[in-house]
A and B are shown apart, each in its own frame.
Chain A
Amino acid sequence: MLRSTRQRFGSVAILFHWGIALGVVALYALGLYMDELEYQDPWFNSAMELHKGLGMLLFAAILARWLWRLVDVQPVPLETCSAFEQWSARVMKAVLYLLLVLVPLSGYLISSAEGQPIDVFGWFQVPALISGLPEQGDVAGEVHEFLSNLLIALAAVHALAAIKHHVFDHDDTLRRMTFRPLRFSSRE
């Protein structure tokens, strides 16, 4: 089932969710790693190219996720969840969505600071639409680092919450974001 239902996420949303999650974690690790590399390190150039290329592809995937969300059905919160849980899940989701756009955007602004396009694995180039702002590269760099740390921290909380629901509450919070059958599939 491509589309989501009121009860569970469809395969498109599931693939987006886990693909983007994997991408975020990989890019975060790669970012920390490349920041430590010395100029003469064999990975100095390719780590940066990989980070930029994957970052732009992930940015595209996130924007595509937003578009898909517009036409997809939104699963409703589980009835077993408390009002606080429903509210905090909604806030967390909104903040994560926002960060998923702001992190790649701030990264893009580092590279575009002097007008150079961003090369994506030699396949195509993303033009520098915004450049020459005062101290653009440095400010964007600080913002990128801060927001990346925030994104990873919040994603960890988000993941812990899902695990809590799965292991302790035995509900379908995690299951409905996978291809496994629901525990309480009543109206599917």
Chain B
Amino acid sequence: MKQRLFVSLLLGCTLSLSAGAAWAEVERYVIDTKNAHAFIQFKISHLGFSWLLGRFDRFEGQFSYDPQHPAASKVEVSIETASIDSNHAERDKHLRSADFLDVGKYPKARFVSRSYAEQADGKGVLEGDLTLHGVTRPVTIETRALGHGPDPWGGYRRGFEGTTRLVLKDFGIDYDLGPAAREVELFLSVEGIRQK
């Protein structure tokens, strides 16, 4: 970890020296999963009667943000699929099995952004590729910039929320949960700590 930080610092310095001022504006953030100021929640209908609510307990990621050119922002998130948690042990075991996420075979899900468009009011659209269950598909996330500024502990933070919907079948998850449960809604909340 320390070593990686050192390398990225070195790399950062070299790049900013060679590229000049244009690079200096890009802010790099590490998503604060260590103190769990980021969440990946999902919601899927249970037979049309209620919601099955769950989340992924372990993931990590980073993003870059350029206040001058928000469109240049990039995000990468890697999710441990085995950390699925719907507050029910047997159901989670089933969700980890080959019927759903098949976490033995596909231990990671991954999102890599491709483009970002932000409006003046902070709302935006983030497009990227999600790899889940071994299938990579484009997804569109509607985002909202929540805020940014110094935190009480000497760091600088920036946060976003986002929502999107996935069709389970698109990712090769064919298990029949009934017609009301073909799509899953995601609510994402990420807060990043700026890296120096």
Residues of chain A touching chain B, judged by Cβ–Cβ distance below 8 Å, are: 38-40, 48, 110-114, 116, 131, 135-138, 141
Query: Contacts A114-B85, A114-B87 given: A39-B176 contact, CB under 8 Å?
Result: yes
Which secondary structure dominates chain A's binding surface? helix
Residues of chain A within 8 A (CB-CB) of B93 are 110, 113, 137-138, 141
Tally of contact residues, B, Cβ under 8 A: 13
Distance in angstroms between the alpha carbons of A38 and B94 in the assembled complex:
11
Determine which of A39, A110, A111, A136 lies in contact with B177 in the assembled complex, contact meaning CB atoms within 8 Å.
A39
Nearest A residue to B103 via CB reads: A138
Does A114 lie within 8 Å of B92, measured CB to CB?
yes
Is B96 interfacial (CB-CB < 8 Å)? Answer: yes
Does B178 lie within 8 Å of A40, measured CB to CB?
yes
Is B89 interfacial (CB-CB < 8 Å)? Answer: yes
Distance in angstroms between the alpha carbons of A40 and B177 in the assembled complex:
7
Does A137 lie within 8 Å of B89, measured CB to CB?
yes
Determine which of A48, A112, A137 lies in contact with B92 in the assembled complex, contact meaning CB atoms within 8 Å.
A137
Does B176 lie within 8 Å of A40, measured CB to CB?
yes
Is B141 interfacial (CB-CB < 8 Å)? Answer: no
Q: A48-B90, A135-B82, A137-B89 are in contact. List 13 more A-B contacts (CB 8 A).
A: A39-B178, A40-B176, A114-B85, A114-B92, A116-B88, A116-B89, A131-B89, A136-B89, A137-B90, A137-B92, A137-B96, A138-B82, A138-B93
Distance in angstroms between the alpha carbons of A176 and B89 in the assembled complex:
43
A33: shortest Cβ distance to chain B, in Å?
Answer: 15
Determine which of A38, A40, A111 lies in contact with B89 in the assembled complex, contact meaning CB atoms within 8 Å.
A111
Is B175 interfacial (CB-CB < 8 Å)? Answer: yes
A179: shortest Cβ distance to chain B, in Å?
Answer: 40
Distance in angstroms between the alpha carbons of A136 and B96 in the assembled complex:
12
For window 63-105 of chain B, which residues contact chain A by CB distance below 8 Å?
Answer: 82, 85, 87-90, 92-93, 96
A102: shortest Cβ distance to chain B, in Å?
Answer: 19
For window 124-149 of chain B, which residues contact chain A by CB distance below 8 Å?
Answer: none
Does B175 lie within 8 Å of A39, measured CB to CB?
yes
A41: shortest Cβ distance to chain B, in Å?
Answer: 10
11 chain-A/chain-B pairs, Cβ below 8 angstroms: A39-B176, A39-B177, A40-B176, A110-B89, A114-B85, A114-B92, A116-B88, A137-B89, A138-B82, A138-B93, A138-B96
Distance in angstroms between the alpha carbons of A138 and B90 in the assembled complex:
9
A117: shortest Cβ distance to chain B, in Å?
Answer: 11
Determine which of B85, B90, B178 lies in contact with A110 in the assembled complex, contact meaning CB atoms within 8 Å.
B90
Residues of chain B within 8 A (CB-CB) of A38 are 175-176
Does A111 lie within 8 Å of B96, measured CB to CB?
no
Does A113 lie within 8 Å of B89, measured CB to CB?
yes
Distance in angstroms between the alpha carbons of A116 and B175 in the assembled complex:
25
Determine which of A40, A111, A131, A135 lies in contact with B90 in the assembled complex, contact meaning CB atoms within 8 Å.
A111
Residues of chain A within 8 A (CB-CB) of B176 are 38-40
Distance in angstroms between the alpha carbons of A136 and B87 in the assembled complex:
14
Distance in angstroms between the alpha carbons of A3 and B90 in the assembled complex:
41
A-contact bits for B31-56, CB 8 A (1 contact / 0 none) = 00000000000000000000000000
B56: shortest Cβ distance to chain A, in Å?
Answer: 14
Residues of chain A within 8 A (CB-CB) of B177 are 39-40
